[in-house]
Structure 1
Amino acid sequence: MFNKNCLNKIPKMKNINHIYFIGIGGSGMGGIATILAKQGYKISGSDISNNFIIKKLNLLNIKIYLKHDAKNITNNIDLVVISTAIKKNNPELITAKNLNIIIISRAQMLTELMRFSYGITITGTHGKTTTTAMIYTIFKLAMLDPTFINGGILKDSKEFAYLGSSKYFIAEADESDRSFLYLNPIINIITNIENEHLDFYKNSIEVLKKIFLQFLKKIPFYGCIIVCIDNINNYNLIKKNKNILKQNIITYGFHKNADLQLYNYQQNNYKSRFFLLEKKKKRSLEINLNIPGYHNALNATAAFAISSYIGLNHVMIIKFLKKFVGIKRRFDILGFLFPYNKKIYKKDIIIIDDYGHHPTEIDITIKTARQIWKNRKLIMVFQPHRYSRTKNLLNEFIKILSKVDKLFILNVFSAGENFIKNANSEYLAQKIKKLGIIIPILIQSNNNYTIIQNIYSKLKGNEILIFQGAGDINNISSLFMNKKFRIEKNQINNKY
């Protein structure tokens, strides 16, 4: 007899049982692996770091090797999924090719997971992760039970992926290497478009915008595009192509022409409040958040827009937005410490961990911290991420990083890139010093304990200490908070 419940089941991939992930420890890769494991596939993989995501995957009985080794790839593997960080000379990738195993990218695997769902994607240079998490929080609290894959970890539930039972599939879509073009969502949000990952776009913002337009054209005519028009590139993209794009378009922002216009933003310590004018419905709503910053007001508005679009009540949406408490490593307050010489300096230090690695993101972090703690000195420990980004955005980095009261610069986290002469940490420090606003302290050690000793010995109290970057700088901030170090004066070294 025909079973109606079968209509809601995602068909299993034929002849695919064992799936291997090269680079499984990334949040996007780990999220996909989590969903597939819960769908019943045999999952294994490799990574070079034993991070939080690896530990979560271990709880699902996923076999993970903490080394890329050709021996890990065996004949019983049906499919290999690779992250964008994997190089062509990776021994596991080479072996998989020699064994004629099917090899696909992370984005291609995500596409297959979303194929039979109501796909909702969030794109843009900044704000994707937080916006994605906000939408998931609203949908889950509204009992919609969505599937969810994100690039960050929710602070309250510790989730970065979840297999739901409903038609909704919410995912952060990565534009960094054009891989989001594989996806076919019904609704897409664009938070902003800026000069980032241009090495995949012929070093041209115009090419980047064209690819975004190409992606938007893939949204079905009955779908929806939600776009922040505070960003000039977003604004021009929609204005120029409004006759080409046949989908529903909802604009949001502080911009006077936005369909959902934010106004009267206020910040009270770590909380924020703003008003939202829904022009079509001719009503104004008050929204309160338990996270700070103009950028998060915009992220919340995007989440409001999509939740309202699918039919959720505005009172419910506002209530659930207030319950959102943030993402790990996104202006993440880790705690408080007293300075090294507590007898002299009696006021504490607030420790913050932030993933931002683009000048715009760092500027937002600085502004947000200044708004909350007006009477504290702002100290930043910055780890540049990629030589190419440092080179392409050097002048912006010099300008933005000079806004703090004290700056420590660590070695560049290369992310596998080759060294570029005038894009390393020493060159960046020299340029900032030459500007004449602050004198940066360059720490060229790769020993985390030495780095901590350099930083901690120079803290005086009544300060905000922000660990800033997308590499492995969070390992340093974790050690810092755990106090797994001791200061020895003869080990303190600094370049400037």
Structure 2
Amino acid sequence: MDLNNIHKVYFIGIGGIGMSAIARFFNEKGVKVSGYDRTATPLTRQLEAEGMQIHYTDDVNAIDKDTNLVVYTPAIPATHTELQWYRDNGYEVVKRSDVLQEITRTLFAITVAGTHGKTTVSTMIAHLLTDSGYGCNAFLGGISVNYNKNFWSSDKQVAVIEADEYDRSFLKLSPDIAVLTAMDADHLDIYGTPEAMEEAFIQYTHNIKPNGTLIARFGLHRGSELKADNKLLYSLQNDAANAYAANIRMINGGYEFDVMQQDWMIDNLHLQIGGMHNVENVVAAITVAHLLGISADKIRAAVASFKGIKRRFEYVIKNDHQVYIDDYAHHPEELRALITSARALFPGRQCTVIFQPHLFSRTRDFAEGFAASLSLADEVILLPIYPARELPIAGVTSEILAARITVPVKIMQKEEVLEWLKKTPVPLLITAGAGDIDQLKEPISHLLN
């Protein structure tokens, strides 16, 4: 695949967060981009406004039959009519990960993998490199608040790429700098066992280019099996790591701190987003920026100007009377970090979490963990499970979580939530989940304001 010889590209599932980043990459290169998605969303409307042609019915009469390349997401079923037509008629049909593989082959690649934190860390790295003037091409799995997009380009031959473990696609990448944030079990519908998933993360580090660097979170299970010619470890506060935060102070919903390493330090850093896990995330990003030779003053200024990612500990409302946080958390560990950080930042406030479980298999596999994390709130509202790509599993509903949660819990439909909120004071409200719970963010914001 020669990315420089492609003049037309067609995307099946163009509205996905990872797919849309690659669509924007081609569009900015002057390639004609078109595609299909199941439903129109604010993101697909933005892509259309940028000049891409998108339709919303699976119809071979609507596709571009002159395209040089067809890119599809693994979330698309193999029976999809358009996908089958392109395959049957001899077109070059590749996954999103195949395009990223070529990008990592041709550019200096910084990839970020891990069960949690990869969107935040990759966006932080891309912002530090951009804000400092170093420059990068960013392929992200979330919408940066600073730039209001998930892709931006640069003349610098450097790419920052979020490396997705779903369907093992990240194993195609060959990074110069690889970041690994977590190896907790997830996607057991793909991997089968936690051990198989750990093996995949270990293999990810084996694909680092010669003389490349691994920046891994301190204390990872099987961390000794991670392989790279150069290895650095980062931590929130453990001074046995190569880089860690010290003197952390909570200030107005954010943090001030220093980052320490054996032979360097950067003091008086200010991060204006919440979540103690985000202090650890920015330690990883700062380690990358320092490795690339970016000065302490530029790193300090870039961290201070970082506004976060939409749906990652996003402050929708933050004032003396009301705090409303929206987050993508859909794994027990992510929920635990989210709720504990919010409670620490806003102590004494009654904490209500509205959670939409994502996938029947994930809800079944981690029911005990979900219940334990959600029980850290004062009360919980559960929405029905968002199925995404799955068919229902007998006996797996939100009730299996409700039965295990140890604080007051209710199960509601999305449309019932607003009526409930009209009658109920919620000094600290969190909405969380990876499905369509984000559709509640705007109406809840209007209601609470």
TM-score normalised according to structure 2 size: 0.94
Alignment partner of 1:55 is 2:38: no
Q: Is the 8 A contact 1:267 1:292 kept in 2?
A: no
Distance 1:259 1:336, change over 3 A: closer
**Corresponding residue number in structure 2 for 1:329:** 311
Q: 1:473 aligns to what?
A: 437
Work out whether residues 34 and 64 of structure 2, in 8 Å CA contact, stay in contact via their aligned partners in 1. no
**Residues in 1 aligned to 2:331 and 2:242: alpha-carbon distance in whole angstroms:** 28
1:83-113 deviation digits (Å, cap 9, x = unpaired): 1211112222122222222211111112223
Confirm whether residue 208 of structure 1 aligns to residue 197 of structure 2.
yes
Q: Distance in 1 between matches of 2:92 and 2:318?
A: 49
| Partner residue, 1:199 | 189
Contact 1:24 1:33 in 2 (8 A): yes
Counterpart in 1 of 2:147?
Answer: 157
CA displacement 1:421-459 (0-9 Å, x = unmatched): 232112222332xxxx3231111x3xx433322x31441
Unaligned runs of 5+ residues in structure 1 are 1-9, 338-346, 485-496
User: SS in structure 1 opposite 2:435?
Assistant: coil
Q: Does the alignment pair 1:354 with 2:327?
A: yes
User: Contact 1:72/1:92 (CA < 8 Å) preserved in 2?
Assistant: no
Instruction: State the Cα distance separating 1:206 from its structure 2 match.
Output: 2.0
CA distance in 1, matches of 2:152, 2:7: 20
Instruction: For residue 258 of structure 1, give the secondary structure of its aligned residue in structure 2.
Output: coil
Q: What code does the residue aligned with 1:320 have?
A: A
Residue range with higher mean Cα deviation, 159-168 or 97-106: 97-106
**Unmatched 5+ residue regions in structure 2?**
none
CA–CA distance in 2 between the matches of 1:483 and 1:400?
27
Q: Which residue of 1 aligns with 2:232?
A: 250
Match of residue 14 from structure 2: 24
Asked whether the 8 Å contact 2:214–2:228 carries over to 1, the reply is: no
Identify if the C-alpha distance between structure 1 residues 308 and 87 changes in structure 2 by more than 3 Å, giving closer, same or farther.
same
1:214-253 equivalences under 5 Å are 214-230=203-219, 232-233=220-221, 236-237=222-223, 239-240=224-225, 245-253=227-235
Cα distance in 2 between the residues matched to 1:283 and 1:331 = 27
Q: Say yes or no: does 1:308 pair with 2:290.
A: yes
- Work out whether residues 35 and 163 of structure 1, in 8 Å CA contact, stay in contact via their aligned partners in 2: yes
Bigger mean CA offset, 463-472 vs 260-269: 260-269
Checking the alignment, whether the CA contact within 8 Å between 2:274 and 2:342 is kept in structure 1 is no
1:297 matches 2:279: yes
Normalising by structure 1, we get a TM-score of 0.86
Shift of 1:12: 4.6
Report the CA distance between 1:78 and its aligned residue.
Answer: 2.5
Q: Say yes or no: does 1:139 pair with 2:139.
A: no
Determine the C-alpha separation between the residues in 2 that align with 1:390 and 1:108.
Answer: 30
Q: Which amino acid aligns with 2:250?
A: Q
* Counterpart AA for 1:153: I
Give the conservation status (yes or no) of the 8 Å contact 1:188–1:225: yes
**What's 1:386 paired with?**
359
**Residue deviations 1:162-200 (CA, integer Å, cap 9, x gap):** 121111111111012210111111111001110111222
**2:10·2:64 contact (CA, 8 Å) conserved in 1?**
no
Q: Could you say what the CA RMSD is over the residues aligned between the two structures, in angstroms? A: 2.1
- Return the letter of the residue paired with 1:266: R
Indicate how the Cα distance of structure 1 residues 49 and 60 shifts in structure 2: closer, same or farther if over 3 A, else same: same
1:390-469 to structure 2, matched below 5 A, reads 390-432=363-405, 437-443=406-412, 445=413, 448-453=414-419, 455-461=420-426, 463-469=427-433
Question: What is the distance in 1 between the residues matched to 2:225 and 2:104?
Answer: 30
Equivalent AA in structure 1 for residue 424 of structure 2: L
SS at match of 1:92: helix
Deviation track 1:30-83 (CA, whole Å, cap 9, x = no partner) reads 000000011121110111232232122112210011233333334222321111
* Amino acid in structure 2 at the alignment position of 1:276: V
Same amino acid, percent of matched pairs: 30
| 8 Å CA contact 2:258, 2:265 repeated in 1 | no
Structure 1 pair 32–283 and aligned structure 2 pair: CA distance change class (3 A): closer
Aligned position for 2:253: 270
Pair 1:328–1:283, CA change in 2 (3 A): closer
1:114 maps to which residue?
A: 104
With over 3 angstroms needed to count, the CA separation of the structure-2 counterparts of 1:284 and 1:59, relative to structure 1, is: closer
CA distance in 2 between counterparts of 1:411 and 1:53 reads: 24
Residue identity in the other structure for 1:155? V
Partner Cα separation in structure 2 for residue 17 and residue 284 of structure 1: 45
CA distance in 2, matches of 1:11, 1:145: 23
